[in-house]
Amino acid sequence: MHIDKVFKALADPGRRRLLDQLHRENGQTLTALCEHMDMTRQAVTQHLQLLEEANLVAVVWQGREKLHYLNPVPLHEIYERWIGKFERSRLGALRDLKKKLEGDDDDKT
């Protein structure tokens, strides 16, 4: 699952709104999702398709109903790979600064 697809899928306000809708109520049909979107059913279908390809939406068939679920796992991977990583380097910089400032003390003990 390429991370480019996730960022591309998130780059559109309509698709982000669809994810917000699924966050409010998970497991919705296309018809239910269309009710709150000011775009054609066809456009919503296309957006959902892109979200599904990015693995941000998972689909479950229940009888003849296709239910859409928000799948936050790729978002967590982005957090781990991007946000968490930068946070770690900031913590690392603080640690290095502390070491530098306290370095002499370390030598004494």
Partner 1 sequence: MTKPSFVYVTYIATTPEKVWQAFVDTDVMRQYWVGPNADCARVNVSDWRPGSQWEHQRLDDARTVDIVGKVVESNPPRRLVFTWARPNEAGDASKHSRVAIDIEPHGDGLVRLTVTHEDLERDPQMLAGISGGWPKVLSNLKTLLETGRVLPHSPPAT
In the bound state with partner 1, the residue whose beta carbon lies nearer, of 43 and 88, is 88
Report the Cα 93 to chain-centroid distance in Å: 27
Residues of this chain, 70-109, that bind partner 1 according to CB under 8 A:
71-77, 80
In the bound state with partner 1, the residue whose beta carbon lies nearer, of 23 and 40, is 23
Which stretch in 3-11, 30-38, 61-69, 94-102 sits in contact with partner 1 by CB under 8 A? 61-69
Residues of this chain, 9-38, that bind partner 1 according to CB under 8 A:
26-27
Give the 3-state secondary structure of the chain. Answer: CCHHHHHHHHCCHHHHHHHHHHHHCCCECHHHHHHCCCCCHHHHHHHHHHHHHCCCEEEEEECCEEEEEECCHHHHHHHHHHHHHHHHHHHHHHHHHHHHHHHHHHHHC
User: In the set 62, 100, 107, 109, which binds partner 1 (CB under 8 A)?
Assistant: 62
What residues make contact with partner 1 under the rule CB under 8 A? 1, 26-27, 55, 58, 60, 62, 67, 69, 71-77, 80
